[in-house]
């Protein structure tokens, strides 16, 4: 059936090769010793310029690596508009420097886009360091800074390592919707979605219909979690995960919160014990961190990241009761004393990790009144649910998870009164199995693994209250 398209799939006929147009080489590829003595063409941005007697030395970056390529340009070949920040195309021969690094001896230099730091008010001057708060004012230019370029490559690498790890563990990736009719967590921290166009609303609206329900015939929100949808798919594919943006309408500007953030969520069918979930979470956190260290060494060095001390240690597991007793026994060291039956504050979370010598802590078996409706009651104490929070140094809670309530009658009594969740109840009627799952904030994980203080510096374009620039 595809025979009619074969002609379209053939490489286009062109005389590019005949004309001698040279293919560009990434700077990452030039770092190989095998390239020495070969002609190359590179394109990138000038990160530094040094003028000597006979030559100009330019450090070029193209984003393929944190390393820069030194280009030696004879003064007679230097364009007048070659400056720091300008984009260039350079051709020449690759050679080795005296310290064994690759450099390019230019025979042709072309400035593609100029950059006059003084006249154009470019916010980043050469050889000057800026703090994160200043750099964050220029989100559209921040990727050009060396540290943030490394962060973006590490973020990409972490995404790849996560996918590889979960695939090796037998998980299938599922694209859950960003538009949903339910508030999975039930906290009301959702963003409402509706058309902006009054014409669309007017043309679709039925008599007496609330305006927020016109488009979908129900109120729609940006998702806070893909968990409920994963539970549906897990009952067919057994081990599934989703990795994408989630949204919380929290009025928080802290170093740990965003209005839009990436969440890794996994769901496993035929899983009935919290210990199995603990094993899966600890393995994920450690293996992905190890993958970053093994495959991102140069970028980790650039941003000054250190190997986490907890990486080779077994995580500790405490029940809510145990954790409460630790906090209560040390109330004099806390600004806010703990009350039994309450959720832990960030101060409480960080204290528990510090008390455990910086080793991450799983807190399990939480009071059911402070956890969402879908969590399963503990068999030995129905006032508790089989839930876990993983607490990490510097950030507190990183992962939350639970065994899901699989009893149809119990779940029916616990369903929230708002939201159409009859389909979720149906999952317990047909070929039902126990399931468990967890969610990990990806951006907060990067804070843990890379030692980044502010979560806004792990995201290309962060959004938080009063800030949705670009």
Q: What is the pLDDT of residues 285-304, one digit of tens each?
A: 999 999 999 999 999 999 99
pTM: 0.93
125 vs 363 pLDDT, higher one: 363
d(CA 287, CA 273) in angstroms, rounded, equals 22
CATH number of 27-128: 2.40.50.140
The pLDDT of residue 17 is above 60: no
| pLDDT over threshold 50, residue 305 | yes
Closest CA to 289 of 273, 276, 300, 303: 300
Is residue 193 predicted with pLDDT exceeding 80?
A: yes
Quote the mean pLDDT of the chain.
93
416 or 183: which leads in pLDDT: 416
- Given a cut of 70, whether residue 185 has pLDDT beyond it is no
pLDDT of residue 362: 98
Predicted confidence band at 16 (pLDDT cuts at 50, 70, 90)? very low
Q: Distance between CA 84 and CA 59 in Å, rounded?
A: 9
Architecture, CATH, for domain 149-189+224-457? 2-Layer Sandwich (3.30)
Q: Is the pLDDT of residue 190 over 80?
A: yes
pLDDT at 68 over 80: yes
pLDDT at 184 over 80: no
Which tokens is 403 given?
Answer: 């065994």
Starting from the edge strand earliest in sequence, which strands make up the sheet with 179-180, in order? 179-180, 220-222, 192-193
Report whether 47 contacts 31 (CB < 8 A): no
pLDDT single digits (tens) 129-169: 999 999 999 999 999 999 999 999 999 999 999 999 999 99
Question: What's the pLDDT at 7?
Answer: 54
Pick from 249-253, 288-292, 299-303, 362-366: least confident: 249-253
User: Which pLDDT score, from 0 to 100, does residue 8 have?
Assistant: 57
Q: Which residues contact 461 (CB under 8 A, 6 or more apart)?
A: 139, 469, 470
Over residues 104-130, the mean pLDDT reads 90
Question: Where residue 2 falls among pLDDT bands split at 50, 70, 90?
Answer: low
Nearest 5°: the CA angle 431, 432, 435 is 140
Mean pLDDT of 17-25: 63
Determine the Cα–Cα distance for residues 359 and 336; give it in Å rounded to an integer: 23
Q: Which has the higher per-residue pLDDT, 318 or 11?
A: 318
Confidence of residue 411 (pLDDT cuts 50, 70, 90): very high
pLDDT digits (tens, 9 = 90+) for 80-99: 999 999 999 999 999 999 88
What are the residue ranges spanned by the domains of the chain? 27-128, 149-189+224-457
């Amino acid at each position: 059936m595809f025979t009619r398209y074969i002609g379209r799939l053939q490489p286009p006929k062109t005389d590019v090769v005949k004309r001698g147009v040279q293919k560009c080489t990434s700077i990452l590829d030039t770092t190989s010793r095998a390239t020495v003595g070969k002609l190359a063409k590179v394109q990138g941005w000038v990160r530094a310029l040094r003028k000597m007697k006979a030559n100009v030395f330019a450090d070029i970056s193209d984003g393929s690596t944190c390393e820069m390529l030194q280009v030696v340009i004879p003064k007679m070949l230097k364009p007048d508009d070659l400056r720091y920040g300008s984009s260039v195309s350079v051709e020449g021969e690759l050679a080795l420097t005296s310290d064994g690094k690759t450099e390019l001896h230019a025979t042709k230099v072309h400035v593609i886009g100029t950059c006059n730091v003084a006249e154009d008010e470019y916010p980043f001057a050469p050889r000057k360091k800026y703090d994160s708060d200043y750099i964050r004012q220029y989100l559209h230019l921040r990727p050009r800074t060396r540290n943030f370029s490394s962060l973006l490559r590490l973020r990409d690498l972490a995404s790849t390592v996560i996918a590889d790890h979960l695939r090796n563990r037998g998980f299938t990736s599922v694209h859950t919707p960003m538009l949903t009719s339910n508030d999975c967590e039930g906290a009301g921290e959702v963003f409402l979605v509706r058309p902006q166009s009054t014409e669309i609303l007017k043309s679709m609206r039925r008599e007496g219909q609330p305006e927020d329900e016109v488009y979908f015939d129900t109120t729609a929100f940006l998702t806070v979690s893909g968990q409920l949808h994963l539970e549906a798919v897990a009952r067919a594919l057994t081990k599934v995960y989703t990795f994408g943006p989630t949204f919380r309408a929290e009025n928080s500007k802290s170093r740990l919160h965003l209005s839009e953030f990436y969440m890794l969520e996994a769901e496993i069918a035929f899983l009935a014990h919290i210990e199995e979930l603990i094993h899966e979470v600890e393995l994920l956190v450690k293996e992905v961190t190890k993958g970053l260290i093994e495959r991102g060494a140069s970028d980790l060095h650039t941003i000054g990241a250190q190997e986490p001390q907890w990486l080779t240690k077994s995580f500790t597991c405490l029940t809510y009761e145990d954790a409460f007793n630790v906090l209560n026994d040390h109330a004099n060291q806390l600004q806010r004393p703990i009350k039994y039956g309450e959720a832990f504050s960030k101060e409480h979370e960080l204290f528990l990790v510090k008390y455990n010598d910086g080793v991450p802590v799983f807190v399990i078996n939480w009071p059911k009144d402070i956890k969402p409706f879908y969590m399963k009651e503990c068999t030995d104490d129905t006032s508790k649910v089989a839930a876990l929070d993983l607490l990490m140094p510097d950030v507190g809670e990183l992962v939350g998870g639970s065994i899901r309530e699989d009893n149809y009658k119990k779940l029916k009594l616990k369903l929230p009164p708002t939201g159409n969740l009859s389909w979720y109840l149906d999952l317990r009627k047909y070929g039902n199995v126990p399931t468990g799952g967890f969610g990990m904030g990806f951006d907060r994980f990067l804070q843990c693994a890379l030692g980044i203080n502010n979560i806004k510096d792990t995201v290309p374009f962060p959004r938080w209250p009063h800030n949705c620039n670009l």
